[in-house]
Amino acid sequence: MGRPAKASIDLNALRNNYRLAQQVAPQSKNLAVVKANAYGHGAVACARALESLTPAFAVACIEEALKLRASGIRKPILLLEGIFTADEVAIAAQADFWLMVENNQHLEQIEASNPDHPVRVWIKLDTGMHRLGMEPAVFPAAYARLKAMPQVDDEIVIVTHFSSADNLADPSTPRQIEKFHAACKGIEAPKSLANSAAIMAWPKARAEWNRPGFMLYGASPFEQPQAVADKLLPVMTLTSAVIGLRHIEAGEAVGYARSWVANRPSVIATLAIGYGDGYPRHAPSGTPVLVNGRRAPLVGRVSMDMITVDVTDLPPVSLNDRVVLWGEELPVNEVASHAGTIGYELLTRMTGRVPLSYRGGDN
């Protein structure tokens, strides 16, 4: 019933990918990152599927964490961007949210707070990403200040974030690792360096805590094949159906602005998917789509509700035939590459118009 655009979420694949992160770094604890609605996959359902496996979750902000708590998720939740207002400290302590400390304002807000018990804190060290975190020169003093606060739990995790771990030839990752350890010298504390790319490809980045995110959802952060990434299973399969078919002559155009013109008699299939669903508007003609399991090129501009593909070279196509936009057999990264973006964006930009359905709900 209803419009055929749907996203199927395979929770068994999600758990498989989490276990892969564990297998790669068995000495680490892996904190499952479910920010941005679990990268478009549905944070509540994904957290429920992972809760028996992970010691803790991570989200961007307290609003995301509160939604998980309201749904019954009980594991600790790290707020990756820290707090935005001072009153969030007491809320975090009460709800078992862990706070990322990124700057002096965070230090001041915690010092001015009066939580009913000490809050767990992670402190970020800026080793080269240059977005958030303490500069190495001020880091030891900031760490010592946190340690002295009665509002803060005694175990403080030191964390950094890599700018280019997805580029295996970039020397900045080993430089960031060296800078991290130099800044932490003499401080005995649990550490967290590795995001998904570092878990898979940079063994020296694996520490007491890792932070798998993108890899959990079955997409590789790397542009080239990579041994661990090749074992990931796609979690989301975005599908729709053929809702229109027409034969056009050579010289006829398809779609807005007549951006694609047939150079031969062609069969054009119209699919119920568009940028109003999260499909990338800038996907050019030639972007692959699977129609009945066979590749067909996108032709013409992506519109809000529909796209068109050239099925001239395929076996006969009928109305209601199934199409796959990405997922099983068609990696989201491949579609993203055609559209001049990354798989992260395509997954997280999914709109509420596309219903999510789940399989593999039992552990």
What number of residues does the chain have? 363
pLDDT in tens, 181-236: 999 999 999 999 999 999 999 999 999 999 999 999 999 999 999 999 999 999 99
- The CA distances from residue 260 to 14, 104, 154, in Å, are 38, 54, 63
> Considering the domain 236-359 in this protein, what is its CATH number?
2.40.37.10
Q: List residues with catalytic annotation.
A: 35, 256
- 44 band by pLDDT with thresholds 50, 70 and 90: very high
**Residue spans per domain, the chain:** 11-220, 236-359
Do 11-220 and 236-359 agree at the fold level? no
Q: What is the pTM of this model?
A: 0.96
The percent of the chain in helix, strand and coil, each rounded to the nearest 5, is 30, 25, 45
pLDDT above 70 coverage of the chain, percent: 99
Whether CATH 3.20.20.10 fits 11-220:
yes
- 362 band by pLDDT with thresholds 50, 70 and 90: low
- Alpha-carbon dihedral of residues 241, 245, 248, 252, nearest 10 degrees? -50
- 60 band by pLDDT with thresholds 50, 70 and 90: very high
Coil, strand or helix: which one is 260?
A: strand
Query: Is the distance from CB of 217 to CB of 236 less than 8 angstroms?
Result: yes
Coil, strand or helix: which one is 316?
A: coil
